[in-house]
Structure 1
Amino acid sequence: MSAHARTVSGALRTEPPTVLDDEAVETILEHGSLELVGRLPSASNASFLATTTLDGVELACVYKPIAGERPLWDFPDGNLAGREYAARLISQASGFDVVPPTVLRDGRFGSGMCQRWVETELEQSLIDVVATDFDEPGWLVVLEAEDHRGDPVFLVHADDERLRDMAVFDSVINNADRKGGHVLLEPPGEDVVVSDNRTSLWGCDHGVTLHHEDKLRTVLWGWGGEPLRDEDVDRISALVLALDAELGRRLAPHLTRRELDALTARALILRSGDAMPLPTERWPVIPWPPF
């Protein structure tokens, strides 16, 4: 292993970091030697912490084999790995940039999704449950509920522009499972530096997305009904154009024609409505559990 590489344990190195852009990361993920470290026990489908190494550079990653997916009655077409990969393609083509580098590749248990592992700031959270007397500026209330003792609490999230990017992205891809635990706040790299070495916000677990029926379930409802920002409109417009070109062709093996048409329709409706969606009473709008 290169002295520049981040180890899975997070051990520090004394040499200067290796700087990798997304293309380099995806090359390592796709073509590097994949070694499993252990299973992630909290995942509902078979998911493994792994490392992938190419030309002396090692990256930590998550490997989710298709063979380990549990069938879902409401997502009968394709597979979760393909939807996770599709979410990454959409994130990149639109400019939302909220999904870590993700590829499809073979591993010990067959073909599956491989995504760069994101080290998180465990002491920081942009989504929380607080007492109802909480009055800190910069936070938005999503709902009022009761804790295990029956005391009233608020589910809140930060009024953060990066989080808002994710909320718009989720509306576009019809994310049915944006839990708080699927929002990852990553500090600057120490050994292997990716992107621009700033604190980054990433979303993970996009396997239940892109259904043709409305299924948006998220903890990020704080901007519901607010006008879209100019950058939201620009990104949605870029997506619409891309879907009619190379992106549409790359998504076709992973989504049905009906799902692709619904994706385009959602983007156009969101752009023409010029506002963030509001919760509906037609289906549960908060994932459970929310974290």
Structure 2
Amino acid sequence: MPAPDLETTELTLTGRITTASNATFLGSIGNVEVVYKPIAGESPLWDFPHGTLAHREVAAYLVSQAFAWEIVPHTWLRDGPLGEGMVQLWQEQDPAQRAVNLIATDHVPETGWKHVLEGQDENGQMVTLVHEDSPALRRMAVFDTVVNNADRKGDHILAMSNGHRHGVDHGLTFHRDHKLRTVLWGWLGDPLAAEELDGIERVAEGLEGELGRDLADLLSTEEIEALASRCARLRLAGRFPAPSGQTSAVPWPLF
């Protein structure tokens, strides 16, 4: 069967993700499974302009492509049954893997995991939020810093069976003010690797050319300028940033 034209072939709804805060549907374009988030289903937010979340999701994909790390699955804007929205290729994650987890504090592995924070569960037992100490998650943490991701929850990281890690749900990104909220704080203060700095450089260079022109259709001028400034600051610092500002450094809920 030939591959369908993802831009023009009819998008058919097959289900709804009811746990999402904005209208989110499962669908298919021919034999291709997708996620569809119509702009009309976006809930108003006090700090992000209304009706822009789908555009930010596509912008995140374009920046991911500039990094060349394939963090964000293919994402684009198109018409659907409920109007224009974001469409993203569905990813079937491995249910046996978890890149981020809450585990009993006295059972935290000594190697292979990074500690983020500790707290008490509903039974008063001490638990620790941990994430993998892996190159894939390091790259995602760099990506989140650059796009100013305000909502990197544990369940927004898809663990694939081949070891790759996809990031999804990027509607709360690219704010011109500092908004970074993430569960991936395990490398706080660590030096950035050469390949991570190279990725930031690719994004910065792209903003001077095709990437910048494409983002101009999705983000405001001020947001693109803030994106360029974050790249410059991160390259100059050469290390993972620490939390800053008055708001929480982690999203809530964590998953």
**What is the aligned-residue RMSD (CA, Å)?**
1.5
Deviation at 1:78, TM superposition (A): 5.3
Q: Distance in 1 between matches of 2:154 and 2:224?
A: 27
Contact 1:77/1:256 (CA < 8 Å) preserved in 2? no
Q: Structure 1 vs Structure 2: percent identity of aligned residues?
A: 49
- Cα distance change, pair 40–259 in 1 and its aligned pair in 2 (3 A): same
Q: Distance in 2 between matches of 1:283 and 1:28?
A: 43
Deviation at 1:77, TM superposition (A): 5.8
1:184 matched to which residue of 2? 158
Contact 1:29/1:116 (CA < 8 Å) preserved in 2? no
Deviation at 1:183, TM superposition (A): 0.2
Letter in 2 for 1:181: D
Give the unaligned 5+ runs of structure 1. Answer: 3-17, 19-23, 188-197
1:33 matched to which residue of 2? 10
Contact 2:104/2:127 (CA < 8 Å) preserved in 1? yes
Q: Distance in 2 between matches of 1:210 and 1:68?
A: 20
- For residues 1-291 of structure 1, the aligned pairs below 5 Å read 2=1, 28-53=5-30, 58-76=31-49, 79-136=52-109, 137-187=111-161, 198-280=162-244, 282-291=246-255
SS at match of 2:59: helix
CA deviation string 1:114-134 (max 9, x = no partner):
000111111210111111112
Letter in 2 for 1:272: L
Contact 2:39/2:51 (CA < 8 Å) preserved in 1? no
Q: Distance in 1 between matches of 2:50 and 2:233?
A: 24
SS at match of 2:166: strand
Q: Distance in 2 between matches of 1:161 and 1:182?
A: 17
What number of residue pairs does the alignment pair up?
254
Deviation at 1:135, TM superposition (A): 3.8
Q: Distance in 1 between matches of 2:5 and 2:166?
A: 19
Letter in 1 for 2:73: P
SS at match of 1:215: coil
SS at match of 1:31: coil
SS at match of 1:142: strand
Letter in 1 for 2:7: E
Contact 2:40/2:51 (CA < 8 Å) preserved in 1? no
Q: Distance in 2 between matches of 1:64 and 1:220?
A: 25
Deviation at 1:89, TM superposition (A): 0.3
Letter in 2 for 1:163: L
Q: Distance in 2 between matches of 1:208 and 1:135?
A: 31
Contact 1:36/1:50 (CA < 8 Å) preserved in 2? yes
Deviation at 1:96, TM superposition (A): 2.8
- Name the larger-Rg structure: 1
Q: Distance in 2 between matches of 1:281 and 1:261?
A: 20
Moved more, 75-84 or 264-273: 75-84
1:5 matched to which residue of 2? none
- Cα distance change, pair 78–38 in 1 and its aligned pair in 2 (3 A): closer
Q: Distance in 2 between matches of 1:138 and 1:186?
A: 18
- TM-score normalised according to structure 2 size: 0.96
- Cα distance change, pair 46–99 in 1 and its aligned pair in 2 (3 A): same
Q: Distance in 2 between matches of 1:86 and 1:29?
A: 18
Q: Distance in 2 between matches of 1:29 and 1:185?
A: 25
CA deviation string 1:5-37 (max 9, x = no partner):
xxxxxxxxxxxxx9xxxxx8xx74323321100
Q: Distance in 2 between matches of 1:115 and 1:135?
A: 35
